[in-house]
Each structure stands twice: as C-alpha cells, then as structure tokens.
A and B are shown apart, each in its own frame.
Chain A
Amino acid sequence: NAGVTQTPKFQVLKTGQSMTLQCAQDMNHEYMSWYRQDPGMGLRLIHYSVGAGITDQGEVPNGYNVSRSTTEDFPLRLLSAAPSQTSVYFCASRGQGYTEAFFGQGTRLTVV
C-alpha cells in the first residue's frame, strides 16, 4: 500500500500565483486533514474532512480552500499565494475510532 501520497514534493511560486497541493490515500480512511509546519510552531491544522463532501476549518484556514469529492483525495488550494504561506505542508488521514493519523511525506512550498 502507498499510504498517503502528496504531490509535488517541492514547489516555488510567485506571489499571487495559484496552485493545488494534491493528497491521496489508499486506506479507505474517512478522516483527512492538512497541516502546515513552520520552525518552532509544530504542526498547525489548516482544514480537515470527516468524509466525502464534508470539510471544516482548522486553526489557520485563511488563504486556503479544500474540497473532498471522493474518499481518496483531499486537495489543498492556494488561490493567491503569499510569502507567509511559505511552509512545509503535510496531509494526514485516519480511520474511524481511536486510531492514529498517517502522514504523507510533505510538500515544501516557497512563495517568492
């Protein structure tokens, strides 16, 4: 099994550009989430989804959009990138009940 797959691994954007970070999982997990990791800040939740068609905001949602049309995929969209969105982004999925989250390898995004 591939687990949680994120693409791309690295990306450089210019301010104002848009892009979509892809996340796919093959474990039939209902719960998926996006985090950003910044030095000294740990992981902060951006958006999460408890199933197809259901999404909600996390701690730092501004500047990001998500949708969940299938169980497998949970893309994160940056509509107009800003330098403050320079970060490492992690996607995670979790099954039902009292289980841990499985993480992708991360996407390192730089906005110049």
Chain B
Amino acid sequence: AQSVTQPDIHITVSEGASLELRCNYSYGATPYLFWYVQSPGQGLQLLLKYFSGDTLVQGIKGFEAEFKRSQSSFNLRKPSVHWSDAAEYFCAVASASGGSYIPTFGRGTSLIVHP
C-alpha cells in the first residue's frame, strides 16, 4: 500500500529565509507525487505535481520540488519565504489502482513565518 511521511509537524522560518519541507513516500512502482497548500479555513490548492520526466518540477508561488527515486523523497523548496506562505502543506502520492489514482496524503507540515 502507498504511504506518505512528512517528518516535520511544524517548521518555523524567518521571512526571506530559504525553506525545505520533507516528504518521503512508500510505493512500489513509479509514483505520482503532489504538493498541496492549505491556508486557514480554506480547501487545498495544488502547488506542483510530478508524473514523469524532469525530476525537478516548478510550481506556483515560487515553489519547486525534486523527485529523488533513490531516497523515495519529494521535498518542497522555496529560496525566499514570504509571510503569506504561512500555511499547512501536504504531500500526496497517487497510485494507478484500477485507474482511479486516488491520492494518499501525509499528515501535513505547518509552516510558521516570523517577520
């Protein structure tokens, strides 16, 4: 069965500092990987996704993520964090079971941005 681990429950950074959120997945075949962001009281918004090809993917709001098969990781990065990036971030992996590609989500990482 597929699973996703986000080892950090909370991450605190200063505005302008770089950011890396960790995500490790468990899945036998090539995974389909996603990062979502959830602002308070809102639904989830897709930041970026990886299906195949270039292992470094660019997303919205200046985010990027790198797929590393050897480490089963899909870490999210941003070179300079803005206060508006404070939110909950979810990594997800989808499998092609029955063609449904239902994603499994990690438990989330809460990003706190200090001025």
Cβ–Cβ < 8 Å partners of B43 in chain A: 4, 90, 103-106
CB pair B44 A90 closer than 8 Å: yes
Q: How far is the CA of A104 from the CA of B42 in the complex (A)?
A: 8
> Does A42 touch B at the CB level, under 8 Å?
yes
Q: Which of A35, A48, A100 contacts B100 (CB 8 A)?
A: A48
- The binding surface of chain A is classed by DSSP as strand
- Of the listed stretches B11-19, B63-71, B75-83, B103-111, chain A binds B103-111
CB pair A98 B101 closer than 8 Å: yes
CB pair B100 A42 closer than 8 Å: no
Interface residues on A, range: 20 to 34
CB pair A105 B42 closer than 8 Å: yes
List the A residue with the shortest CB-CB distance to B47: A100
CB pair B100 A103 closer than 8 Å: no
CB pair B106 A48 closer than 8 Å: no
What is the CB-to-nearest-CB distance from A80 to chain B, in angstroms, rounded to a whole number?
Answer: 27
Interface residues on B, range: 20 to 34
CB pair A41 B107 closer than 8 Å: yes
Cβ–Cβ < 8 Å partners of B41 in chain A: 106
Q: Which of A31, A33, A40, A104 contacts B9 (CB 8 A)?
A: A40
Q: How far is the CA of A31 from the CA of B104 in the complex (A)?
A: 15
- Which positions 21-53 of chain B face chain A at CB distance < 8 Å? 32, 34, 36, 41-46, 49, 51
What are 13 A-B residue pairs whose CB atoms fall within 8 Å in the complex?
A41-B107, A42-B105, A43-B44, A48-B102, A50-B98, A98-B51, A99-B101, A101-B44, A102-B46, A103-B44, A103-B45, A105-B43, A106-B41
A-B pairs with lowest CB-CB distance, top 10: A103-B43, A42-B107, A43-B105, A42-B105, A103-B44, A100-B46, A98-B51, A105-B43, A50-B100, A42-B108
